[in-house]
Amino acid sequence: MQLNFLHLALLSLLSLAIANSPIILTPGRHGAAVEVDQQDVCVYFQDADSSKGIAPNFPAGSGYAGPGVILLAGVARNNTPIAAVVLQNNGTFGEIHVFYFGVAYTDRLLSERVWTAGVGWHDGPLSGLGYTSRAVDHFLYAFTDGKTVGSTIRVGFACDGLGPMCEAYCSPSAGWAWNVVQ
């Protein structure tokens, strides 16, 4: 009986130690943060084997909730840049879009994961369009022209080849398209 109690106590201590261990980021990692609602923030980063997200607790210094895996290992390019936007729906957040470079097309495929209220995380349509960045480039940004679902999303990156600045954009009526920024 004592052995079982000791065993359970050690497992509990080990679980506590794992839950309170720091998030280790290897050199060259990138991250992005979005403000979902007032004092609701999500931070996205890539650790050693996949991309994850955490939500900070407030006030500062009181820790984080998570991390939660949004991409499985081997989906995103190692050391991918990350950009993110949030869109509201009826005053609460309705969608979060996280952009990164996927491993397809030799680690250069502009890709998207989307969190939708009531659905959860899923691959976004941008991932299947074949937009590629310049090899080993780390230039990536995202923003919207409004704050609500249905606003145009714009994602900038260095295009394949000589690396002109390009922008993929999604309007509700036309879907995704792209152009070279002039």
Virtual torsion, Cα 52, 58, 62, 63, nearest 10 deg: 0
Amino acid at 147: K
Residue 65 domain flag: yes
pLDDT of residue 15: 40
- The predicted pLDDT at position 16 comes to 39
**170 belongs to a structural domain:** yes
Give the strand pairing for 64-71 and 40-46: unpaired
What tens digit of pLDDT does each residue of 119-160 get? Answer: 989 999 998 999 999 988 899 999 999 888 889 999 999 999
Strand partners, 156: 141, 167
In a domain? residue 14: no
Retrieve residue 75's tokens: 């989906």
Residue 32 lies in a domain: yes
Whether 16 is in a domain gets the answer: no
Q: Does the residue 19 lie in any domain? A: no
Q: Is residue 3 part of a domain?
A: no
**99 — phi, psi (to 5°)?**
-110, 145
Sign of torsion, CA 74 79 80 86? positive
Q: What is the pLDDT of residue 50?
A: 73
Q: What is the CATH number of the domain that holds 112?
A: 2.120.10.70
Question: Residue 7 domain-assigned?
Answer: no
Residue 110 — very low, low, confident or very high, per pLDDT cuts 50/70/90?
very high
pLDDT given at position 44: 86
Query: Confidence class of residue 7 from pLDDT cuts 50, 70 and 90?
Result: very low
Total domains, the chain? 1
pTM above 0.75, yes or no: yes
- Specify the residue for token string 């600045």: 165
SS3 6: helix
| Residue 156 structure tokens | 């900038």
Domain that holds residue 98: 25-180
Count CB atoms within 10 A of the CB of residue 42: 23
Buried b (16+ CB within 10 A) or exposed e, 94-120: bbbbbbbbbebeebbbbbbbbbbeeee
CA nearest 48: which of 70, 75, 67, 29? 29
